[in-house]
Structure 1
Amino acid sequence: MSEQIDCFYANGLTLQQFTNLQSLMLCGVGVNHMLDRIQIALPQLPHITHLTLDYCTLGYNRVTILPLINIIWSLPKLSYCYFINSITFCHDQALFVPPTVASSTITHLTIWNIDDPYCEMAALFEQTPYLQHFSVSAWTYYPDFRLTSSVPSITTLKISGFPYKTVCDLLQRLPNLSHLYLGANNSDDHQQWEELIGDFLPKLKKCQFNGRLLKKELLKN
């Protein structure tokens, strides 16, 4: 993909020429392959609604990644944003830096394969107040999900690679959650989940463990 981007620009084309572009997927873009040009182009694409960064290396420290994250969160029509193995690598850790500006349009967000114990998800949720569908997975280290307030906007959560306690703490802050998808490293103890659902998830309609649906009777209040 990096070679294709080089060829794209070598032929005199630029992303900002496509002012009506609504969907953009970038694969395999690294810090040495036109990422700075993409960062310049994004603010000039006001109609983008879908953005996917797939296996992109966005930087090597928190300082360099923040401007790009803020540009993405500032896109006026962006609703669907996907970071698939696309984060900042520092000391062999995959970092994600929450934005410092708010998005009034992002409703679907995926951050897949994060490895950052210092990433404060409270800041991410604060700057994404209309987030409805959130997908997140972790490697060895997982982000800080200690929230001081609820996140009523989220109705769908897909989470993988997090210990039970972390997931439990997060779910207690999602009062309007209706769909829950649990991947690896999550407890299969249905009694635990039945108690959690009964106590904190009154609106849950669907719960799935590693592709298996939780029995419907466990979703009854």
Structure 2
Amino acid sequence: MNLEIFPNDLLLYLFNFITPLDLFRSFYNLNSHFNDFILIYFQNYRFDFRLLSRQELKIICQNYIPLIFDKVIYLHLSDDDGTPGQAADFFNYDINIDQFTSLKALTLFRIESHSKIDEFFSFGIQKLHHLTYLKFDDCHFNKGDGNKTRQLINQIWSLPKLIYCYWNVRPNGEEYFYLPTIFSLSLKNLHIKNPEWNSEQLTCLMMKTPYLQYFSTEFSCFTSNFNNDNVNKTLPSLKNLPMKKLKLINLWSRNILINLLYMMPNLYYLNIHGWTFYINGYEWKDIIIKYLPNLRIFRLTMLLE
């Protein structure tokens, strides 16, 4: 079969089903026609490095990625057991994240601290102006990196097009999230794993993310702050957030729940995984009538000791 006789639109469609490594290995430098397609016409390169060997990563980073920096829209880097040290290797090939000028989605899985990675966290991420999707999944920062983590969170909140953010980072060996000090006017979908929430912190987060429509968080441990929260401490300006979906996992505090629902009359989806506190069916009915007039889907799991 002679692929050169295929219409250009069909070739572009077929290239979407071929990994970038196989695409370059199979077609690059065969002739000028295929080179034009790979380097000029094909605009959406997605690199998922989870299944690559270290040698394959080297080939891609040294030979191919420099040719298409401005056409890469997705990157997935992983430091799991199958690809240890991959992120550090990636950045050691004289690659700067700001060279990916069209990057829209970035996933970092089990990334460990490293000088090049720290440089990216400190200065690189704020240059990803087209990023819409960002996921930190089970990443680990060194102890004492709290200031870097705060700086990183503020950079994330400053990204002008970011819509989705998943945060599961351990800056001090445990899950933790530092509240942003600036506003995000783009974030709509936010997932955070953080054991230390109280009502004041959650209210502050909502203030800094006023266009949020879906929020999920996991409370990983009990803190004494939970029992000291008062109901309805929220500011009047936060009584009508655009939130549509809310998921709370391992929730310890009834008052935190009430304070959140007080801010979210537009909710149509509520998923609660509760722990140690009890709310009976009549109380749930009163809560829904009082705070959630638009609720359509309600999922509840209560674990009682």
- TM-score class, shorter-chain normalisation, is 0.7 to 0.9
Give the helix-richer structure, 1 or 2.
2
Q: Where does 1:197-212 land on structure 2 (aligned, <5 Å)? A: 197-210=288-301
Q: Mean Cα displacement is larger for which, 126-135 or 55-64?
A: 55-64
Q: Deviations over 1:23-74 (max 9, x none)?
A: 0001112333613323322122111000000011245454332111110011
Which blocks of at least 5 consecutive residues in structure 1 are unaligned? 212-221
Q: Deviations over 1:125-180 (max 9, x none)?
A: 11111111110110113687752332522111001111333212321221111110
Out of 231, 235, 239, the residue aligned to residue 148 of structure 1 is 235
Q: Where does 1:129-144 land on structure 2 (aligned, <5 Å)? A: 129-141=210-222
Larger Cα-atom Rg: 2
Given the two structures, how large is their TM-score scaled by the length of structure 1? 0.83
Out of 39, 48, 51, the residue aligned to residue 122 of structure 2 is 39
CA distance in structure 2 between the partners assigned to 1:207 and 1:148 by the alignment: 26
* Pair 140,49 (structure 1): closer, same or farther in 2 beyond 3 Å: same
Q: Mean Cα displacement is larger for which, 98-107 or 115-124?
A: 115-124
Contact 2:250 2:273 in 1 (8 A): yes
Instruction: Provide the residue aligned with 1:106 in structure 2.
Output: 187
Q: Mean Cα displacement is larger for which, 69-78 or 13-22?
A: 13-22
Q: Where does 1:174-189 land on structure 2 (aligned, <5 Å)? A: 174-185=264-275, 187=278, 189=280
Q: Bigger relative contact order, structure 1 or 2, given CA contacts below 8 A and separation 6+?
A: 1
The Cα RMSD (Å) is: 2.4
Q: Deviations over 1:63-93 (max 9, x none)?
A: 332111110011110000111x31432xx65
CA distance in structure 2 between the partners assigned to 1:193 and 1:59 by the alignment: 43
Out of 103, 118, 121, the residue aligned to residue 21 of structure 1 is 103
Q: Deviations over 1:110-132 (max 9, x none)?
A: 102x1225671222111111111
Contact 2:211 2:241 in 1 (8 A): no
Which amino acid letter does the alignment assign opposite residue 286 of structure 2?
E
Instruction: Provide the residue aligned with 2:165 in structure 1.
Output: 81
* Pair 63,13 (structure 1): closer, same or farther in 2 beyond 3 Å: closer
Which amino acid letter does the alignment assign opposite residue 8 of structure 1?
F
Moved over 4 A (4+): 142-146
Instruction: Provide the residue aligned with 1:68 in structure 2.
Output: 152
CA distance in structure 2 between the partners assigned to 1:104 and 1:82 by the alignment: 17
CA distance in structure 1 between the partners assigned to 2:142 and 2:211 by the alignment: 27
Given the two structures, how large is their TM-score scaled by the length of structure 2? 0.61
* Pair 56,93 (structure 1): closer, same or farther in 2 beyond 3 Å: closer
CA distance in structure 2 between the partners assigned to 1:59 and 1:154 by the alignment: 34
Which amino acid letter does the alignment assign opposite residue 174 of structure 1?
M
* Pair 86,168 (structure 1): closer, same or farther in 2 beyond 3 Å: same
Out of 165, 169, 181, the residue aligned to residue 255 of structure 2 is 165
2:273 matched to 1:192? no
